[in-house]
């Protein structure tokens, strides 16, 4: 019988439920258990695919093409399972399914209601992950207890122990235990209130994970345990990590959370095997090298907009035992201040994906700067398209080369709409999405990185390189080193005779892991390290960069 863990959050949002859930998944897998993970999001959008990065951070794309919440990125990076469409449901999706059933007459004339119809649909979504090959399903409920939107989800998980047996379900509640400087003490009242709210709904948590800035004494934990009706060993401290997010699972392990879970479920397992994680922590704590990378994007000021990219750079740093300082640079600022002022001194320049015209010229200027100065360059999706535009304009002399996304009537549409996209009018799930195979050309930087002839990577785009221009580009020295199996779509372009100039139409950042850096990120960082060590007079690090591990660390809520 599959066991279920439900993770809820209280007191404040952004308390780190995604990371904590992923860490629990990782620890249980390290004990040899088979884990599947899922997030239920209370918002009404069918998926985050149509939301602005300002609203929701990055859209994380799965192999099967679903556009999902960025917490799924944590799940895939921390655990081994590949997630599917069933790993992320929103209120929008749940209602859509119920309404479709109603339109097909499946409710046989009944009044369709939140309870039981919506809650049944939610329960089905959860149970879809429970199969004979799964020991534990971890379901994270988005939002904060007390939100109106979240109520049907909480009601559904309240009902599940009735269906499955209380002994097969566990409720883990993440809460904030603030430290009041003026009083010089931690405060447990918000936690008591939050648990009180859960109990009103009918959910008694089994475990409390307390996010805190200051350690919680045994005495305080006893107090929380007493008021919240849980055993003291189930009050787990999760102190803010100012070094790295990869410390979170280790700290939960130190507080014996995994042990508590398996005991409570009566599951047989060995102590967690964490060698790979220990090694990555060692590499992170003992860097032998240091480089700086500029990520030039439209949403640079938003910490979560390119989350997987920043993390993938960290992974490549772990791989090379290299500390990477990442500078998040607005492409619009490059347009105003010029690349020389903002980009000089970096060891590598990365242009991530994106949509819309704002900042495009800044990206094109950044790419020119990298190309002309032999600075390692990595372009991803829109970053690849901008590389094609830049090369067309400056090397081939097609002064007005552009993408039809930004200039419909350009005389040189070097990037144009994919054929399959021409008649698409509806938004949401309509791009070229998910895993697609790609054939690599031998003797290319990509082939050297992957060490493989055929790869599979995830996509999310509507536009492509225009094949009418292929010959012209090749004649001027550009190489198309990755193509779709029928040769019809350009997936990778490269400039040989350059320190590293690789741009890809797909999103490699969705497949990098802390214990297994993505080959293209590892190669890019390797090239940047080479550049740094090759520069005779070491220039100081640019001062607008920050330590990579810190940029992605848990910050106090
Ligand atoms: N806007 C571009 C396209 O749709 C690039 C998309 C992306 O970078 N994800 O093709």
Which residue ranges have their beta carbon within 6 Å of ligand 1? 353-355, 381-382, 405, 460-463
Q: How far is the CA of 424 from the centre of ligand 1 (A)?
A: 15
Secondary structure, 3-state, 249-303 = HHHHHHCCHHHHHHHHHCCCCCCCCCHHHHHHHHHHHCCCEEEEEEEEECCCCCC
pLDDT in the model for residue 557: 23
Q: Report the residue among 49, 416, 461 best suited for mutation to probe ligand 1: largest number of ligand atoms under 8 A from its CB.
A: 461
What atom in ligand 1 is closest to the CA of residue 463? 10
From 381, 386, 416, 438, active-site residue:
381
Whether 270 sits among the annotated catalytic residues: the reply is: no
Question: Measured between alpha carbons, how far is 527 from 178 in angstroms, rounded to an integer?
Answer: 44
The protein residue whose alpha carbon is closest to atom 1 in ligand 1 is 355
Question: Measured between alpha carbons, how far is 427 from 434 in angstroms, rounded to an integer?
Answer: 16
pLDDT in the model for residue 429: 78
Residue 45: closest CA among 90, 87, 99, 85: 90
pLDDT in the model for residue 24: 98
What atom in ligand 1 is closest to the CA of residue 355? 1
pLDDT in the model for residue 248: 94
The structure tokens listed for 30 are 């390290």
Question: Measured between alpha carbons, how far is 339 from 368 in angstroms, rounded to an integer?
Answer: 9
Cα separation values, 17 from 71, 139, 315, 485, Å: 9, 11, 22, 40
- The pLDDT tens digits of the residues spanning 101-154 come to 999 999 999 999 999 999 999 999 999 999 999 999 999 999 999 899 999 999
The protein residue whose alpha carbon is closest to atom 5 in ligand 1 is 382
Question: Measured between alpha carbons, how far is 430 from 428 in angstroms, rounded to an integer?
Answer: 5
- The pLDDT tens digits of the residues spanning 398-420 come to 999 999 999 999 999 999 998 77
Whether 457 sits among the annotated catalytic residues: the reply is: no
pLDDT in the model for residue 553: 29
CB–CB of 542/472 below 8 Å? Answer: no
With a cut of 70, which residues of the chain have pLDDT below it? 536-557
pTM of the model: 0.92
Whether 412 sits among the annotated catalytic residues: the reply is: no
pLDDT in the model for residue 504: 98
């Amino acid at each position: 019988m599959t066991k279920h863990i439900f993770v809820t959050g209280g007191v404040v949002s952004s308390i780190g439920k995604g990371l904590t859930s992923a860490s629990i998944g990782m620890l249980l897998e390290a004990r040899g258990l088979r884990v599947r993970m899922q997030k239920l999001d209370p918002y009404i959008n069918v998926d985050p695919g149509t939301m602005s990065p300002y609203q929701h951070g990055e859209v994380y794309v799965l192999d099967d093409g679903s556009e999902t919440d960025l917490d799924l990125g944590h799940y895939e990076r921390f655990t081994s399972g590949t997630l599917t469409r069933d790993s992320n449901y929103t209120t929008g999706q749940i209602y859509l399914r119920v309404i479709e059933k109603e339109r097909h007459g499946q409710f046989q004339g009944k009044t369709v209601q939140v309870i039981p119809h919506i809650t049944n649909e939610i329960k089905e979504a959860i149970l879809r992950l429970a199969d004979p090959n799964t020991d534990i399903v971890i379901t994270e409920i988005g939002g904060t207890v007390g939100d109106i939107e979240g109520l049907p989800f909480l009601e559904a998980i309240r009902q599940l122990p009735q269906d499955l047996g209380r002994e097969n379900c566990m409720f883990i509640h993440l809460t904030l235990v603030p430290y009041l400087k003026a009083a010089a003490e931690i405060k447990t009242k918000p936690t008591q209130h939050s648990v009180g709210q859960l109990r009103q709904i009918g959910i008694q948590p089994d475990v409390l994970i307390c996010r805190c800035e200051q350690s919680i004494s045994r005495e305080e934990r006893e107090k929380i345990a007493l008021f919240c009706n849980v055993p003291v060993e189930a009050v787990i401290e999760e102190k803010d990590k100012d070094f790295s997010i990869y410390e979170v699972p280790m700290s939960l392990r130190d507080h014996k959370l995994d042990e508590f879970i398996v005991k409570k479920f009566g599951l047989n397992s060995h102590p967690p095997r964490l060698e790979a994680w220990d090694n990555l922590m060692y590499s992170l704590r003992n860097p032998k090298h240091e480089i700086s990378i500029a990520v030039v994007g439209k949403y640079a000021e938003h910490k979560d907009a390119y989350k997987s990219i920043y993390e993938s750079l960290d992974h490549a740093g772990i791989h090379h035992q290299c500390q990477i300082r990442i500078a998040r640079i607005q492409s619009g600022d490059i347009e105003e201040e010029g690349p020389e002022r903002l980009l000089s001194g970096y060891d590598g320049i990365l242009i991530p994906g994106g949509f819309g015209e704002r900042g495009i010229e800044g990206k094109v200027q950044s790419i020119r700067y990298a190309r002309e100065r032999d600075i390692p360059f990595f372009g991803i999706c829109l970053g690849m398209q901008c590389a094609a535009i830049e090369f067309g304009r400056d090397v081939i002399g097609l002064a007005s080369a552009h993408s039809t996304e930004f200039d419909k009537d350009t005389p040189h549409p070097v990037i144009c709409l994919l054929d399959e996209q021409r008649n698409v009018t509806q938004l949401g799930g309509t791009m070229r999405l998910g895993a697609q195979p790609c054939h690599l050309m031998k003797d290319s930087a990509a082939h050297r990185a992957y060490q493989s002839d055929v790869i599979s990577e995830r996509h999310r785009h509507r536009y492509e390189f225009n094949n009418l221009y292929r010959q012209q580009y090749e004649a001027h020295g550009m190489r198309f080193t990755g193509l779709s199996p029928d040769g019809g779509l350009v997936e990778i372009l490269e400039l040989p005779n350059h320190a590293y100039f690789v741009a890809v139409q797909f999103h490699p950042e969705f497949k990098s892991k802390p214990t297994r850096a993505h080959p293209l990120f590892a190669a890019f960082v390797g090239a940047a390290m080479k550049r740094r060590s090759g520069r005779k007079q070491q220039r100081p690090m640019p001062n607008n960069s920050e330590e990579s591990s810190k940029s992605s660390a848990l910050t106090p809520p």
